[in-house]
Amino acid sequence: MKLKNIQRFNLSPKMPFSSDEVQSIGRALERGPSVLQLPRIPDHVKDRQVQLTQGSLMIPSPPKRTKSSSRGCPVTVSPLSYTLSPPLFNSVEEVIRAKIHTPPDIVQTIRNNPHLGFLYVTSTAPKSSIKFDTYNLKIAMFDNVNKSDYYTVSTHAVMHYCGSEVDYLSLERWEQEYQYHRKLLRIPVFALFLKWKAFRVWRNNVRYKKISKCRRSLQEHLFVLNESLRPALIDIREMCYHISDMPLCRLEKDHTYTLEEFQSAQYKQLEEVSSRLEKFRKLAMEVARSACRNALIEFGYTPDYGDLETGDNFI
């Protein structure tokens, strides 16, 4: 009992008792225990105190930081993990506003909200876009989906409608194929395929456009391709080829010429060549004149030079 009575006083060593306090304590001890009794604590209050005591003992202590051997290395503490409750939706419009795109999220949404029945899913980008991905999807209403390529996702399976064909997949198989797809996209060949394809298509289109432009320009301005001028050019080229075989100097083998004979033979050859060149000139002029006249008439012009038959004022 003496110890219990002493516990009522502050026995902290930082604040020593005075002499008066020590005398009063001694007189209290000589008188003996006090007849004053405290009220009894009810049972439900005791049970509440026990629960609070046990709850305070079960509070986990904060994780201790591990000491690093090197002073320069920082100490990392693993973050606490929290379990979030799955989102619940009352209507499909709320799901659309949530902007859910990946197959695992879509499957989790339909599993947590079976009252929605099923969801219409379509691609977020067209196939011609560089951002197109088979699993880059979005939830939409039936009026906004691509009727030639869309999905329906329910709690049982996934139905893929592509034209007149329909594919059936379970939710687990669909999620597994999505994971395989993500792993394949980590390979550079598959990751850059769409960019390579888009660049190649762009390059081919630019090349075809340039070739078409040059072809059209040649057809409009190159006179060789003109239907009236082309035959005349071919005829004149053929006549030039034949006249190029005509020699300008005549010499016979195994024959010795005197000066007078050689001079006479060369003058005779000169007259023959001159006559043939004159015929060639007239024929080439006639062919060129006729071709130019026809070409002007085809383009809607009226030739203003002399008569075609007489050849007046031409050349």
Regarding whether 232 and 215 lie in a shared domain, the answer is no
Alpha-carbon distance of 147 to 223, in angstroms, equals 53
Contact at 8 Å (CB) between 227 and 165? Answer: no
CB under 8 Å to 135, separation ≥6 — which residues?
A: 102, 103, 178, 181
pLDDT in tens, the chain (315 residues): 444 444 444 444 444 555 565 565 566 555 555 544 555 666 666 666 666 555 444 445 555 555 544 454 454 444 444 445 567 888 888 888 888 888 889 999 989 888 888 999 998 888 877 778 888 888 989 888 888 889 999 988 999 998 888 999 899 999 999 999 999 989 998 888 878 888 999 999 999 999 999 988 887 778 777 788 888 888 888 888 888 888 888 888 888 888 888 888 888 888 888 988 999 899 999 888 888 888 888 878 887 765 544 444 444
Instruction: Pick the closest to residue 161 from 180, 184, 142, 136 (CA basis).
Output: 142
152 in any annotated domain: yes
The C-alpha angle 239, 252, 241, rounded to 5 degrees, equals 10
229 in any annotated domain: yes
Contact at 8 Å (CB) between 234 and 287? Answer: no
Regarding whether 196 and 180 lie in a shared domain, the answer is no
The predicted pLDDT at position 56 comes to: 47
| Domain region containing 194 | 188-221
- Count structural domains, the chain: 4
Regarding whether 231 and 156 lie in a shared domain, the answer is no
Regarding whether 227 and 148 lie in a shared domain, the answer is no
Report field, pTM of the whole predicted structure over 0.75: no
